[in-house]
Amino acid sequence: MASSKAGSNRPLSPHLQIYRPMLSMMMSIVHRITGAALYVGSILLVIWLVAAASGPSAFETIQSIYGSILGQLVLFCYTWALIHHGLGGVRHLIWDTGRGFDHQSRERLIKGGLIGSIALTVLIWVVVYATHGATG
């Protein structure tokens, strides 16, 4: 086994502390996180569907949990994750055609996805609250 000397001038392997964070790198990480969050949100959706199929008592219990402030916050985040991940998929589909790789186009696609996901999430929730109210 080789011994390491203190103060050695050997180069370090590139890692996160070496690279300057770029928007495309950060959105790639967020895309992976939202993909994982969709698994959790899908489990919550299945719980809701099972409660609906189990009868009024179970459904009322789940509705009270999902209708709480914490439940609404989780559902809001799930909505954003779903939309953001979907728009990221559209961006990757565009890249699969060989388009959008120049710096300006890449930045425009990434910023558009981020702004679009936030705007669409807020729009969906405003429409739902305006048409159904906080309690449905």
Q: Annotated binding site for heme: which residue ranges?
A: 85
Contact 24, 88 (CB under 8 A): no
7 token code pair: 């103060």
Show Cβ contacts of residue 48 under 8 Å, excluding neighbours closer than 6 positions: 62, 66
State the chain's maximal CA–CA distance in angstroms.
70
- In the annotated binding site, the residues are 85
- CA dist 23 and 34 (Å) reads 16
Half-sphere exposure of 100 (CA within 13 A, CB side): 16
